[in-house]
Structure 1
């Protein structure tokens, strides 16, 4: 018998304890502990500065240390000096508000939304119906504008901007920095992806398409970045409105889950591209193996129970070919928010 092989129940015991770790992270964000621990504090010092219960604060800090969110300077052997803690690199980058990559509010939003969905799962399976989650149920401009201001904006700045640049460096029209380009950021939300791509390609003109209230958020971000002469906005509903034409590149990230008619949307994107143009579609799909599928299915179960589009791996490529694209490249990327995604690069035929 091996004493180094985990018990078969270990993954499910880990599930049972995961909410404690999640709640510890949530409490730490909500209490401002990470911000305080940009500089080292002992538990007693931290409790005094934030008006916390000192013994319980000490226990929380040790848990966060075990989660590799804090670095610890242990007490000396004589025990005369208590241990001090400060943010580890990951916590400092993503969970301190002073960081440009802060996404603590976005993480809390995801946690609370998924928790709320989970409380409904028993009755949904037993009785049917649809889950009640405002973030999934009501695709309105007001809701998306609020999301663009907070969780989507934070995730784009912290993660998606860099991931999008990594994808685009594989695409010849973008890598030819001397070639003028027109980009459509379809469903671009707060516009940070278009901003990042325009900053990397000096001869790019871009359009951010989204709900009217949402592109107002994007326009403010674009102006703040000093790119209003190169990036404009177009307001509308992808399901019914025109999205323009003559684009060299279309960036479409996690949009197709929300459209009522995926095939119609893909035909519209195909028509919007100039001959030889390229669509870059970043979308979660359900993998054929349990290990890979397990990283996607929990996040997208609420959408699936609402009847949203979550395709199986390879299915979206077939939809693209049916919509007129003749060359489709596909690969998996794990550096986008939440779950791994499939990156599909589809080229429109040249004249």
Structure 2
């Protein structure tokens, strides 16, 4: 993106690496936030002046932003008219199998969070967690929920196919399940299952409509609540804890797993979906763990730490399943 020298020995220097990445990142999230990418949906080709008029923005600013998107193959430009390029068509347009615009919208919020990282590192935690930041901004919580939904589309099929649902399982609880995508997918694959998705009201704002659209309103229900503070119920055969534990402290997770164990029927399972920390520093895990520290003051956890939670709750680790992505399934079983 940024190129300051032709000397190959200096490639990847901080100017090119950091400044270029910052400009690309800023351009993409700004284009999503301003509606620039959506303005070209449906095969439209518009000049900078036409785009500026639609977006109520300056022509100079729109042209500068659109040119960067051309440079990174998100846009094309011909005869002064901008249109979607190959990447935008694949991931962000009405032609895309799944619209990943929510990832850019969440990127805007993450951008703001990461600006405060130096102070969070000094203090040992961020000034506010994501949920505290969003207390009076439910639209940001919705952006995050929408992002998690589109992100989950990349892995949901492998997750459902790989999870060892007990043959006699009938009731599933999806803690922090937000969009409900996993609960719906499990119910479609296992006709005997019913599911309850428990999350904060703002995270479930659009979930009921999605469940109805999928024709699963009679099998997938919603429950508003904070699973760290409110009762989660009992008599479940499967409890999903998908991409949750990295948002909480070791002690909070240990207590949560104990509550889940009490909620499970004998032979039931808890399924943790996580980017598991290993002894080796891995790029994705390290970056993700740092982002979690900036967002909530928390981190990723190792398999040994998860086993500590299982042991304290009287659960047996029955399986670790590596998926074709950065995350794994860690399954704990209640004996008896």
Bucket of the pairwise TM-score, normalised by the shorter protein: 0.7 to 0.9
Q: 1:323 aligns with which of 306, 310, 313?
A: 313
Q: Greater relative contact order (Cα 8 A, min sep 6): structure 1 or 2?
A: 2
**SS of residue paired to 2:240:** strand
Q: Does 1:165 align with 2:157?
A: yes
Q: Does 1:115 align with 2:112?
A: yes
Q: Please, what TM-score do these two structures have when normalized by structure 1?
A: 0.75
Aligned equivalent of 1:290? 281
Q: CA deviation at 1:208?
A: 1.1
Q: 1:37 aligns with which of 40, 48, 51?
A: 40
Q: 2:228 aligns with which of 239, 243, 255?
A: 239
Q: Which runs of 5+ in 2 are unaligned?
A: 1-5
CA deviation digits over 1:8-60, x for unaligned, max 9?
75366311221211121123223332223231526457547636666665554
Q: Does 1:155 align with 2:147?
A: yes
**SS of residue paired to 1:295:** helix
Q: CA deviation at 1:160?
A: 1.0
Aligned length: 326
Q: Does 1:204 align with 2:193?
A: yes
What are the within-5 Å matches in structure 2 for residues 206-285 of structure 1? 206-211=195-200, 214-215=203-204, 217-256=206-245, 257-258=247-248, 261-285=252-276
Cα gap change, 1:124/1:232 in structure 2, threshold over 3 Å: closer, same or farther? closer
Q: CA deviation at 1:106?
A: 4.6
CA deviation digits over 1:160-187, x for unaligned, max 9?
145233112013427x7xx663211111
Q: Is the 8 A contact 1:43 1:84 kept in 2?
A: yes
Q: Does 1:23 align with 2:26?
A: yes
Cα gap change, 1:48/1:18 in structure 2, threshold over 3 Å: closer, same or farther? closer
CA deviation digits over 1:206-265, x for unaligned, max 9?
111223565565444433433221112234332343322232221111222236622121
Distance of 1:315 and 1:12 partners within structure 2: 39
Q: Does 1:347 align with 2:333?
A: yes
Q: Is the 8 A contact 1:250 1:280 kept in 2?
A: yes
Distance of 1:137 and 1:148 partners within structure 2: 10
Q: Which runs of 5+ in 1 are unaligned?
A: 76-81
Aligned equivalent of 1:95? 92
Distance of 1:201 and 1:43 partners within structure 2: 51
Q: Is the 8 A contact 2:120 2:127 kept in 1?
A: no
**SS of residue paired to 1:300:** helix
Distance of 2:70 and 2:318 partners within structure 1: 45
Cα gap change, 1:94/1:261 in structure 2, threshold over 3 Å: closer, same or farther? same
Distance of 1:341 and 1:131 partners within structure 2: 25
Distance of 1:14 and 1:277 partners within structure 2: 48
Aligned equivalent of 1:78? none
Q: Please, what TM-score do these two structures have when normalized by structure 2?
A: 0.78
CA deviation digits over 1:301-320, x for unaligned, max 9?
2146x3x3542454224432
Q: Is the 8 A contact 1:165 1:197 kept in 2?
A: no
